[in-house]
A and B are shown apart, each in its own frame.
Chain A
């Protein structure tokens, strides 16, 4: 039984968008900038509120690009971007990308690390309180001995 279900389900105050994960130093097919509506009609990831899980590897994104004369390009999400979206630790991400020519992207099928984080935080609350109580008792014990 989950101990703190209301806490688990409370909405995060962090509300990132797709733009927060898209890198402008990845090149792609040059296209002029599109409106939100046009991006949505073209089924580009940029025109969505949330990224789809099923075909995230195939879908294209409208991204800013410093290599495009239009400042915008159309491309698929890069592996580092996917790793960012799926909450990979930067050090591990660099380790994988440095060694693997074609790193596995199987992680896109699995639950996100942030979900595990939220659940572990919720379930560890009680343990933390117990620790505090132990320390409090310990201090009391010391003061009695000093007296």
Chain B
């Protein structure tokens, strides 16, 4: 007897200044995007650009993360160290989350100023050039 289950992937993408356009192309079924520090004009523009359905407030995002407890969910935080400092306390108690940080290192220093992040997570340095881009740093 084989029990067929629908595999479910939940991905939460916290992206600073602009949304994660790439997630849906990777087969992620449901993407909730919270745009940190977005102005009203930018939000309207994103709605015009067809991203209105994915936009959420930070409170809604946190609640969705809490509600996702039965699932093994992934959480991507994409931006500067500041946004990581802001979001990490909100989600650090959610043990069901696999948390990934993508932090800009424009100067190529390969070192974070936040010691908690530096010592409690595994980091890999990836340059923009390695992924087919033309910007310095990674």
**A residues neighboring B (CB under 8 Å):** 1-2, 5, 8-18, 20-21, 50-54, 56, 85-89, 91-96, 98-100, 103-104, 106-107, 109-121, 123-124, 127-128, 130-131, 134, 137-138, 140-141
Number of interface residues of B (CB under 8 A): 57
B1 → chain A, closest Cβ, in Å?
8
B residues within 8 A CB of A138?
A: 2, 4
B interface, CB within 8 angstroms of A: 1-2, 4-5, 7, 9, 11, 13, 15-23, 25-28, 39, 41-42, 44-51, 74, 76, 78-80, 100, 102-104, 106-107, 122, 124, 126, 128-138
Residues of A within 8 A of B76 (CB): 116, 119-120
A138 to B1, CA, bound (A): 10
CB-nearest residue of chain B to A18: B134
Decide yes or no: A128 and B136 within 8 Å by CB, A88-B21, A110-B16 being known contacts.
no
Name A's interface SS.
helix
B18-A88 in contact (CB<8A): yes
Cβ of B20 and Cβ of A113 under 8 Å apart? yes
A114–B130 alpha-carbon span in the complex (Å): 10
A92 contacts B49, CB within 8 Å? Answer: yes
Structural contact, B107 and A114, CB atoms closer than 8 A: no
> Chain A residues near B25 (CB, 8 Å)?
117
- In the assembled complex, the Cα of A39 lies from the Cα of B101 at a distance in Å of 37
CB distance from A19 to the nearest CB of B (A): 10
Shortest beta-carbon contacts, A-B, top 3: A95-B49, A53-B106, A92-B49
B132 near A14: Cβ-Cβ < 8 Å? yes
A98 to B44 alpha-carbon distance, docked (Å): 11
Q: Chain B residues near A2 (CB, 8 Å)?
A: 122, 124
Q: Which B residues are CB-close (under 8 A) to A11?
A: 129-130
Inter-chain contacts of A89 with B (CB < 8 A): 21, 49
Assess A124 versus B136: contact at CB under 8 Å? Given A8-B124, A99-B41, A110-B17: no
B124 and A113 within 8 A (CB): no
Q: Assess A93 versus B49: contact at CB under 8 Å? Given A112-B135, A119-B126, A141-B2.
A: yes
